[in-house]
Amino acid sequence: MKLAYWPGCVSRGFTTELHGSMALVAERLGIELVTLDRANCCGAGVIAEHNQELADTLNARTFALAQQTGLSMMNICSTCQGAQSECQQRLDADSQYRSHINEALSGQGLSYEKSADGSWNNKNFLWLLVEDYGLDRLAAQVKRPLAGLRVGPFYGCYIVRPKERLGYHQYPDRDIYLEKVIEALGGEIVEYNGARKCCGFPVVTMNRETSLTQAGTHVGDAIDAGADCLVTPCPLCHLNLDMQQPEAAKVVNRDLGLAVLHLPQLVGLALGATPKELGMEKHVASTKWVQERLTAVPA
Amino acid sequence: MPEYTLKVRRYQPESGEGPFWEEFKVELDPSLSVLDGILQAKDRDDGSLSVRCSCRAAICGSCGMKINGQSGLGCKTQIGEAQELAEKKASVGNGAGGGTPPIVVEPMGNMPVIKDLVTDMESTHWTKIRRVTPWLLDDGDPPERERIVPPESMVDITQTIACIQCGACVSACLSMEADPEFIGPAALAKAYRFVGDPRDVETRERLYDLAQDPHGIYDCTHCFACVDACPKGVAPMDQIMRLRRRASDDDIHDRNNGHNHELAFVKIIEKKGTLDEALLLQESYAPGVKGKLIPKPSAIKGLVGSLPTAARGLRTGKMRSLPKLIPGVHPKLPGDAQERVKRIYEHAEEHGTEINLYITGEEEVEPEPDEEEFSQPEVSPGPKESE
């Protein structure tokens, strides 16, 4: 399996452990990644809010760079998935608009081509694991089942809504994939209120109270439901749930302290990688408890 | 006839007891609605089961409720589909293998419950709708006849006009869950209905008001919950983003740092190609701090508020690298890639095209060659008009 890989901005910025653990996990799974290091930010919905055409052109450029490799594209960020799917939907809907956008790219020898049969696509690592790699194949690679580890899924809005745009008609189970992956890795699913809710990150600079109330509430609910950790396919959710967790604790006025893993880290642990190899010491909320649980419960 | 179990969250204020769950067995065709199921339970089992409804055709907007946690209309949700969703949710986790799960029905969220599935729309929904001055503000001189505007200038707001005031988006809103004072999706979509109306003369005042309110357009957390909840395709969140775009075009500097955040983001990508988070934080709170502008008190508060997080970032190694330590040191894209991103900006800023698929729709895909034999034989269109 070989893919054009868009790591996104945050995985090479505040959450370098995500980029690192993805590289490690891809190698162990036998997935070859061709990094799109000349591609640009997806705009995270913010650029579209400013100028829709600008966001569409920026993402058309990234898609075109991926298409140039002859490979489908993989991302590791729910927000990238959502923002890019939104642009792709507009580009695919209207050939005239697509030509107009491609005009802006023609000087760079690039052009985004709509794939009528969906053979070229852009999928988050989570979707790819379930739909293309296969859960049985994943389970067969597990060296250290996550037995006894109670994991709360946290999806990130952009990968679950809006359903009409995100291919749920074709893949209706996309909003239970995290649970399926946790199961395939031998972990225990923790049900709590926040799994498909918003982490609050998009408004953290505009309404800190609203933002951190959301993050703190979800982390607290997961703790109350008995979670040892959360797992998320979105580094922006990670920023609010992990990096801001001590601040969120103050806003919701309770003790928190729950490890938040990136999806490749959870997969990596089950593949036998050590927490250090997966950069888990770079988190703000301590990940030691996860390690202790894994040691305490024999695989 | 298939049998379904409805698990209804009930609340009977006159009983003096708290809310409780009750299961009802109903028998009906899977193509009928959840509302039909509730009405059958009311008819056959318990006449006190309360629900608001009228048209049963997704027109009146009375029967907003949560079905399996999803906000929407009871009459527009087929009971067979609701059962499938309940089964999907139960297929993973604790519920797996535990027999047929019930369809869970609850009153709408983010508003007080009056009785069973009947919620108080007045204290939340209608109060918030009134907050946005939901009527046309004209120049004061009544015209002799109607106000004539070109039809194409009204197309833009047809999406918001489709709203039936059911409250499903309010029920689903995740920002309002955290901040009950948020003006919310329905009211802000209504606000855009007038901001986008060419006859309204107070556009800038409306935008200024909604941008300055700490619970206004910049309090939306962009979660798409309202988009999925709306039974009429209004996509309230998209209307909120349009309000932000209009406020931005009008250069309205709000005290919530919304406009600054957006401008900083757009500028950083133009200069660096990928996001420099440290610079984004700085510029969102205090644009031009390296130059001459002095940050406002709210910005200083924001910056100071983010300091403990920054300190933790340093300690864990998240922000220990030079680019994360000093805002602005973030690397540019390699080679001439950065220059190419910049050129995209020029093109997009010159045109600024905005398309709305609700209005334009998706163009029809030409049939695949092997499907052509099944399609209608092509009728000669006659002489083509010269273009």
Q: Looking at the whole model, is its pTM more than 0.90?
A: yes
- pLDDT tens digits for range B201-236: 999 999 999 999 999 999 999 999 999 999 999 999
Q: How confident is the model at residue B382 (pLDDT cuts 50, 70, 90)?
A: very low
- pLDDT tens digits for range A80-126: 999 999 999 999 999 999 999 999 999 999 999 999 888 899 999 99
Q: Quick one: three-class SS letters along chain A?
A: CEEEEECCCHHHCCCHHHHHHHHHHHHHHCCEEEECCCCCCCCCCHHHHHCHHHHHHHHHHHHHHHHHCCCCEEECCHHHHHHHHHHHHHHHHCHHHHHHHHHHHHCCCCCCCCCCCCCCCEEEHHHHHHHHHCHHHHHHHCCCCCCCCEEEECCCHHHCCCCCCCCCCCCHHHHHHHHHHHHHCCCEECCCCCCCCCCCHHHCCCCHHHHHHHHHHHHHHHHHCCCCEEEECCHHHHHHHHHCHHHHHHHHCCCCCCEEEEHHHHHHHHCCCCCCCCCHHHCCCCCHHHHHHHHHCCC
Interchain pair B241, A283: CB under 8 A: no
In the predicted model, is pLDDT for residue B310 greater than 50?
yes
| Percent of chain A whose predicted confidence (pLDDT) is above 70 | 99
Confirm or reject contact between B302 and chain A (CB < 8 A).
yes
Span B289-300, mean pLDDT?
57
Dihedral angle computed from the Cα positions of residues A43, A48, A54 and A57, in that order, rounded to the nearest 10 degrees: 70
Nearest CA in chain A to B91: A176
pLDDT of residue B373: 47
User: Which among A15, A46, A126 is the top mutation candidate for probing chain B, defined by the most B β-carbons within 10 Å of its own β-carbon?
Assistant: A46
In the predicted model, is pLDDT for residue B325 greater than 70?
no
pLDDT of residue A140: 97
Q: How confident is the model at residue B362 (pLDDT cuts 50, 70, 90)?
A: confident
- pLDDT tens digits for range A37-52: 999 999 999 999 999 9
Q: How confident is the model at residue B259 (pLDDT cuts 50, 70, 90)?
A: very high
Nearest CA in chain B to A96: B363
Q: How confident is the model at residue B139 (pLDDT cuts 50, 70, 90)?
A: confident
pLDDT of residue A298: 65
Confirm or reject contact between B256 and chain A (CB < 8 A).
yes
| Percent of chain B whose predicted confidence (pLDDT) is above 70 | 89
C-alpha distances (whole Å) from A299 to each of A146, A147, A152, B220 are 7, 6, 19, 44
Say how many CA atoms lie within 13 Å of B244 toward its Cβ: 30
Confirm or reject contact between B202 and chain A (CB < 8 A).
no
Confirm or reject contact between B71 and chain A (CB < 8 A).
no
Interchain pair A108, B343: CB under 8 A: yes
Give A14 to chain B, closest Cα distance, Å: 5
Taking one residue from A and the other from B, the number of pairs with CB-CB distance under 8 angstroms is 233
**Residues B6, B12, B15, B16: is their CA dihedral positive or negative?**
positive
Nearest to A80 by CA among A100, A58, A112: A58
Which residues of B are less than 8 Å from A213 in CB distance? 178-179
- Amino acid found at B76: K
Which residues of B are less than 8 Å from A54 in CB distance? 266, 344-345, 348-349, 352
Who contacts B63 (Cβ-Cβ below 8 Å, separation ≥6)? B35, B51, B52, B53, B54, B56, B73, B74, B75, B166
Q: Which of A95-104, A268-277, B4-13, B306-315 has the lowest mean pLDDT?
A: B306-315
Nearest CA in chain A to B211: A206
* CB-based contact A277:A143 (threshold 8 Å): no
User: Which among B315, B316, B358 is the top mutation candidate for probing chain A, defined by the most A β-carbons within 10 Å of its own β-carbon?
Assistant: B316
Interchain pair B344, A191: CB under 8 A: no
Q: Is B135 helix (H, G, I), strand (E, B) or coil?
A: coil
Confirm or reject contact between B320 and chain A (CB < 8 A).
no
Q: Give the tokens for residue B132.
A: 């946005």
Which residues of A are less than 8 Å from B353 in CB distance? 52-53, 97, 100
pLDDT of residue B380: 47
Secondary structure percentages of chain B, helix, strand, coil, to 5 = 45, 10, 45
Mean pLDDT for chain B overall: 89
Give the distance from CA B269 to its chain's centroid: 25
pLDDT of residue B307: 78
In the predicted model, is pLDDT for residue A273 greater than 50?
yes
- Amino acid found at B350: E
Interchain pair A176, B353: CB under 8 A: no
Interchain pair B218, A203: CB under 8 A: yes
pLDDT of residue B330: 82
Q: Is B156 helix (H, G, I), strand (E, B) or coil?
A: coil
Interchain pair A46, B262: CB under 8 A: yes
In the predicted model, is pLDDT for residue B379 greater than 50?
no
Q: Which of A104-113, A236-245, B357-366 has the lowest mean pLDDT?
A: B357-366
Q: How confident is the model at residue B324 (pLDDT cuts 50, 70, 90)?
A: low
In the predicted model, is pLDDT for residue B141 greater than 90?
no
Interchain pair B219, A211: CB under 8 A: no
In the predicted model, is pLDDT for residue B289 greater than 80?
no
Nearest CA in chain A to B220: A203
Q: Is B105 helix (H, G, I), strand (E, B) or coil?
A: strand
**Residues A210, A215, A221, A223: is their CA dihedral positive or negative?**
negative
Q: How confident is the model at residue A299 (pLDDT cuts 50, 70, 90)?
A: low
Span B42-68, mean pLDDT?
97
- Amino acid found at B263: L
